[in-house]
Amino acid sequence: MTAQFPAVRPRRLRRSEPVRRLMAETRLDPAQLVLPLFVREGFAEPRPIVSMPGVLHHTLDSLRGAVTEAASAGLGGVMLFGIPEQRDALGSGATDPDGILNRATRVAAEEVGGDLVVQTDLCLDEFTDHGHCGVLAPDGSVDNDATLERYRDMALAQAEAGSQLLGLSGMMDGQVAAVREALDGAGRSDVLLLGYAAKYASAFFGPFRDAVESALQGDRRTYQLDPANRREGRREAVLDIEEGADVVMVKPAMSYLDVLADVAATSPVPVWAYQVSGEYAMVEAAAANGWIERERTILETLTGIRRAGADAVLTYWATEVAGWLRGR
C-alpha cells in the first residue's frame, strides 16, 4: 500500500537560514529607523533617564556625538525633543530662537543635515508649566484654535533653525492645515509635515513623561484618541492627509498594530509608527531579568511593526539595531 504524504510542504521554505532570509516577506533596514533624542537645558554632562535604560538627557555637546553616530549608522533620521529649564503657560520657550529645542536643531542640522533627516517635535507639552499640549482656556480646557496659532509660530521657528520635518504631535484639530499654511506663506514649502494622526491616550507614554520632566496636570483624553477606538484612528489619518500631511503616524505601535494596518491600507503617503517609551522600557526590564532574549525580542518587535505596514519606525534602539543589521 502506497504511503500517503503531504503534497504541500511549507517547511521547505524554512529549512535553513539562507532559505529563510531569501523568503522573508518583511525586512529591516537602518534607513527605516528614526532615533528620538532628548536635549536638556542646563546640564553640563549627559545624564541617564532612569525609566529608560540606555537613553540619555543630552547636552548640546553630547548631541553632536549622538547625531553623528546616528548618521554613520545609516539611520533615516533623528527626532529632537527639548526640555527647558523654565516653563510658562504659553510655552514661550518653544518659539524662542534661543530656546533649547531650536538651539539643538541648529546643532543637529549643522552636524548631519546633509546625511539624514533632522526632525523636531512640534508640541507645547515640554514647554508649558501645566504640561498640556496647548494653550489653556479660562476654564482649564485646552483651547484648540488658540493652540494652532502657537503651532504656526513654532513651525516657523523650527524651520528657521534647520528642521527638515516637523512632527505635529499635539493632536489639535486642524493642526496640519494651520502649520502648512504658515510655512507656505513664509516661503517654506520645502519643510515636510509628519502628522501624528492616530496618537492614543496611552499608559505606555509613562517613561516619556519622565524623560521630558512633564508638569502635566490632569490627562490628555480630550485630544488624544481613546484606546478603545479603531475606526477613529483611520479617520484622523485621512483628515491629516487631506490637510496636507506628507507622512502620517500611529502612536504607540505595538498595541495598535490593527490601527497601523488600517492606516497603511488606506494612506497614499508614507505611514510611520512610534515604538514608545513604555514599550522600550518593558523589553529592557524583562531582558535585564533574563526573562527574554533581548536582541531577538527587539528585532521581533520592529519586524512586527514593519509587517503591520509601517514604512519607518521611531525607536530608541535605532542606532543599536542599525549596527546589528549592518553587521549581518
The pLDDT confidence band at residue 207, using thresholds 50, 70 and 90, is confident
User: So what's the pLDDT on residue 218?
Assistant: 79
Q: C-alpha grid cell for residue 12?
A: 521547505
Distance CA 87, CA 129 (A): 5
Preceding amide of 84 cis, omega within 30: no
What integer is the mean pLDDT of 319-328?
93
Q: Which residue(s) pair with 301 in the sheet?
A: none
Q: Pick the closest to residue 236 from 143, 306, 150, 168 (CA basis).
A: 168
Of 29-38, 183-192, 199-208, 269-278, the poorest mean pLDDT is in: 199-208
217 has a pLDDT exceeding 80: no
Which residue numbers are catalytic? 199, 251
Does 30 score more than 90 pLDDT? yes
pLDDT digits (tens, 9 = 90+) for 228-246: 999 999 999 999 999 999 9
Helices (H) and strands (E) in the chain, counts: 11, 10
Whether 1 has a pLDDT exceeding 80, the answer reads no
Grid cell for residue 63: 548631541
pLDDT tens profile 279-294:
999 999 999 999 999 9
What CA–CA distance (Å, rounded) separates 267 from 260?
A: 10
* Domain boundaries, given as residue ranges, for the chain: 28-327
Position 212 confidence tier, pLDDT thresholds 50, 70, 90 = confident
Rounded Cα gap, residues 135 and 224, in angstroms = 15
To the nearest whole number, what is the mean pLDDT of the chain? Answer: 96
Query: pLDDT grade, residue 215 (50/70/90)?
Result: confident
Over range 308-328, report the average pLDDT: 96
Question: What pLDDT score was predicted for residue 172?
Answer: 97
* The pLDDT value given to residue 2: 63
pLDDT score for 210: 80
In this prediction, residue 209 carries a pLDDT of 81
Average pLDDT of 257-272? 98
Mean pLDDT of 205-214: 84
Non-local (6+) Cβ contacts of 214 within 8 A are 125, 126, 131
Greatest distance between any 2 Cα atoms in the chain? 87
CATH 3.20.20.70 describes domain 28-327:
yes
Per-residue pLDDT at 208: 86
Per-range mean pLDDT, top range of 205-214, 255-264, 319-328: 255-264
